[in-house]
A and B are shown apart, each in its own frame.
Chain A
Amino acid sequence: MPENLFKLNAKEYILPGTRACQGCGLSLGYRYALKALRENTIVTLPACCLCVLHGIYPSTPVMIPCLNNSFASTAASAAGIVAGLQALNKTDTTVMAVAGDGGTFDMGIQALSGAAERGTDFIYLCYDNEGYMNTGTQRSSATPMGAVTTTTPILTKQQHKKDFIKIMDAHDLPYLATVSPSYPIDLYEKFVKAKKIKGTRYIHMYVPCPPGWGFATKDTIKTGKLAVETGVVVLFEIENGKFRFTGRSKTLAERGNRLPVINYLEKQGRFRKMNIEQLNQQQAWVDGKWQEYIRRAEA
């Protein structure tokens, strides 16, 4: 394990001047993901925030080849790249599909489930900013209960976040992991590991979104950390069915000293309309998920 950031691959695959928003959690996480995967990688992605980060023709700040495809097609696009490379005997290239929560939890789920069931040899990275952020902060099935979005502007979102990781886990993947750009070494290591594994690898990256969540652009790392400290986000990996807490979540699981979720929620404008009942439900939901993970780790 690299003891600090300076021990990671020093090469940059994203040049300065991306079109991502200031303080974008995705741009931080994606940078480390590419460092871990290195040059021999092909990325495919739908219309999403990452498509914006990749720039406007004819220039791009990203030094990794990328195929843009339509919204519902991300995983199928990766499957086509994999099949094409296989047919041409170019099998040493890592293929990574990247989509947001909208392109994964919602419109992309069919293609992803199909590709995962077929055991397609690729990494699927879902960057979860908990809403349709590229189109202006509309509700997605990944938006947490109580959040104001532009399509839940008055009453806030009434349902809990879809437990998408459970859906992916049900595909019996060789590798599944959660990461946060607030913990770049944990993130980097998981991508290094995923690169070496054959078959469908699913990585779920929680990416704080300053304009969508309503916090200052300087607080992205802090917000990501608070998500982990409160157990809203749990860092773990599941390798061939074996669950393991990692990083800060491992420590929290051992010590049982999670912070209450209000410490995380109160810092974000999107939860400004949350009532006490929703807050209690949110805490109970996080506690319930946390217990599921603890049981899984003990099994």
Chain B
Amino acid sequence: MSNVQIITGNQAAALAAKLCSVEVVAAYPITPQSQLSEILSSYVESGELKAEYVRVEGEHSALTVCISASTVGARVFTATSANGLLYMHEQLHWAAGSRLPIVMCCVNRGVGAPWTIFNDQQDSLAQRDTGWIQLYCRNNQEIIDTVIQAYRIAESVYCPVMVCYDGFVLSHTMMPVDIPDAAGVRAFLPPYQPHTILSPDDPRNLNPVLFPGQRRDSEGVLRDGYMDMRYKLQAALEKASETIRAVNAAFAEAFGRDHGGMLWEYRTDDADLILAGMGSIASEATVAADRLREEGIKAGVVGIRSYRPFPKADVRNAFRNAKGIAIFEKSISYGYEGGLCSDLKAAFYGTAIKAPIHNYIAGLGGRDVKARELAAAAKNSLAGFEKGMVEPQTTWLNTTTG
């Protein structure tokens, strides 16, 4: 039986954390995440959620508390945005290096300077190489479902997961969401089994200094050096693709909703022109694709759900018949192009996918971008492709670039 409620993205994330019975929450409020930390506070104070809530003095400490609590064996949750996430940066590496299954929501917001409180994805994209799994949500239903999936993924591969959703566009927008039932979530998500517990019962020195090479322990067993441990993190992230797909399938089986494993596709079967993106902009692109189809252009959309690990095999399959590709991104790798564009091109290298690609930077700092503008941009790309443009210069949508 469904339990549909009209809620914001932040409410969806908070409900998900509660359904997952998190044991320790540590968060520092930041727009547009604040509502999420407030709701969790009230869950904990009212006793609805039996957890320790550590009201830390900053985001660096928020993630540190999660790291240490996870190390002693508790299931933990945190959330942040923009500069808060940047302030955590050191600890993002620490969490991944410690192989802790921390789940964090990143409520995507542009970063300063200058200040903006509005949405783009520069914050999480800038954390690409920290060893975290990054999943992007297109609507509030996907937020609640992805947070629940994130714990199962994280606790299977012992890597932290960042669940990213667009600030205001999703965080503060109310949508109907089917709330999974608590018993169903308990059945879907087994209790957290830590890989190592910090305990006086078995004293260990965790995360100590390492030599570059392997070394023997007191019993003569050869132990990893730093680089061997780094390789294991990379191997775990690579293996995580399989887990993400499997968890998505198991979730669809249990709850009847399939959000795509590594990515989702919309009307791509016969599409000549494929629009691509992550999060709400990709969702908006589906409306653009419909408009284009009304004009006789066979358009479809690929939404990247898992940015890391990158869905290399999945995109090779999804784009195999594309004749033109328009990639819309809410972030930029300064001095080059959108990070997703680079990654897609790299994934296509050496394959039969030779479609021309047009990269659009859109919606930075909340700059409005409408479905009809995405449609118009894609149409322009198509016109250029037809004239033989293989790779037009990156275009900044709705921006004065003179």
CB within 8 Å of B: which residues of A?
A: 39-42, 44, 51-52, 54-60, 62-70, 72-73, 75-81, 83-88, 90, 93, 110-111, 113-114, 117-118
Contact = CB atoms under 8 A, between A and B. Distances in A.
B276 interface: no
A263 B229 CA distance: 51
Given A57-B211, A70-B90, A80 B223 contact: no
B295 to A, nearest CB: 54
B207 interface: yes
B211 A79 contact: no
A83 B52 contact: yes
Contact of B200 (A42, A79, A80, A118): A42
Given A56-B208, A58-B221, A111-B64, 5 more contacts: A54-B208, A79-B61, A80-B69, A80-B70, A117-B57
Contacts of A39: 200
| Nearest 6 Cβ contacts at the A-B interface | A80-B68, A114-B57, A84-B69, A76-B61, A84-B72, A80-B65
A81 B54 CA distance: 11
Contact of A80 (B64, B199, B202, B207): B64
Interface residues of B, number: 46
Contacts, number: 169
* Interface secondary structure of A, over-half rule: mixed
B91 interface: yes
7 contacts: A57-B223, A58-B223, A76-B64, A84-B71, A84-B73, A87-B23, A111-B64
Given A65-B200, A69-B94, A73-B60, A83 B55 contact: no
Contacts of B61: 73, 75-76, 79, 110-111, 114
B205 A84 contact: no
Interface centre among A39, A54, A86 (most CB of B within 10 A): A86
A81 B69 contact: yes
Contacts of B203: 62-66
A136 to B, nearest CB: 16
A65 B202 contact: yes
Contact of A111 (B51, B57, B76, B223): B57
Contact of A66 (B23, B67, B94, B206): B206
Contact of A65 (B73, B204, B209): B204
A64 B70 CA distance: 19
A109 to B, nearest CB: 11
B68 A81 contact: yes
B181 to A, nearest CB: 24
Interface of B: 23-24, 26, 51-52, 54-58, 60-61, 64-74, 76, 90-91, 94, 198-200, 202-211, 215-218, 221, 223
Given A84-B72, A86-B52, A88-B74, A114 B58 contact: yes
Contact of B209 (A57, A79, A83): A57
Contacts of B64: 69-70, 73, 76-77, 79-80, 111
Given A56-B211, A67-B71, A84-B23, A118 B205 contact: no
Contacts of B54: 79-80, 83, 118
Contacts of A111: 57-58, 60-61, 64
Contacts of A87: 23-24, 51-52, 69, 74
Contacts of B208: 51, 54-57, 60, 66, 68
Given A81-B71, A88-B74, A52 B56 contact: no
A40 B207 CA distance: 20
Contacts of B74: 83-84, 87-88
B16 to A, nearest CB: 18
A42 B23 CA distance: 20
A70 B68 CA distance: 11
Contact of B199 (A65, A73, A78): A65
Contacts of A51: 208-209
A77 B98 CA distance: 13
B73 A88 contact: yes
Nearest to B25: A83
B207 A69 contact: yes
A78 B68 contact: yes
A59 B66 CA distance: 26
A41 B221 CA distance: 28
A93 B217 CA distance: 28
